[in-house]
Amino acid sequence: MTVSGAHSRIISGHFMVTFLHGELVTMSRHLISSSLICRCSAILVVAGSFFCCAQTPTDLQIDVGNFVLYNYDTFDTSQFGTNPNPTNIMMKTYNFHIAIGDITTVGGAPAMGALLCRTMPMFVLSPTPARGTQAIADTTRSMTDDCSLEIMTSSGRPVGTIYYSGLYGGPPPPGAPSASTRSNMIVTGGTGAFYGVRGQAGQISWMPRVASVTEDPANRRLNGGGTQSVVLQLLPMFRPQVVMTTNGPAIVHSSDYSLVTTAKPAKAGEILVLFANGLGPTNPGVEFGKPFPAGSAQTVNSPVTLTVNGSPAQLLYAGGYPGAIDAYQVNFQVPSGLGAGNGTLRLIAGFIMGDSATIALQ
- Greatest C-alpha distance within the chain: 80
Q: How high is the pLDDT of residue 22?
A: 36
How does residue 91 score in pLDDT terms, banded at 50, 70 and 90?
confident
Mean pLDDT of 300-329: 94
Residues 279, 281, 283, 285, CA torsion sign: positive
How does residue 133 score in pLDDT terms, banded at 50, 70 and 90?
confident
Report the percentage of the chain scoring pLDDT > 70: 85
Q: How high is the pLDDT of residue 243?
A: 94
Q: Is the pLDDT of residue 277 over 90?
A: yes
> Buried b / exposed e across 165-183, counting CB within 10 Å, b at 16+?
bbbbbbbbbeebbeebebb
pLDDT, tens digit, 9 for 90 and up, residues 210-239? 999 999 999 999 999 999 999 999 999 989
- Residue 356, CA atoms < 13 Å, CB-side half-sphere: 10
Among 90-94, 156-160, 316-320, the range scoring the smallest mean pLDDT is: 90-94
d(CA 150, CA 235): 18
Mean pLDDT of 148-177: 95
Cβ atoms of residues 81 and 70 within 8 Å:
no
User: How would you classify residue 15: left for phi > 0, otherwise alpha for psi between -120 and 50, otherwise beta?
Assistant: left
Cβ atoms of residues 273 and 251 within 8 Å:
yes
Residue-range domains of the chain with CATH: 6-54+239-361 (no CATH), 58-235 (2.40.480)
Mean pLDDT of the chain: 85
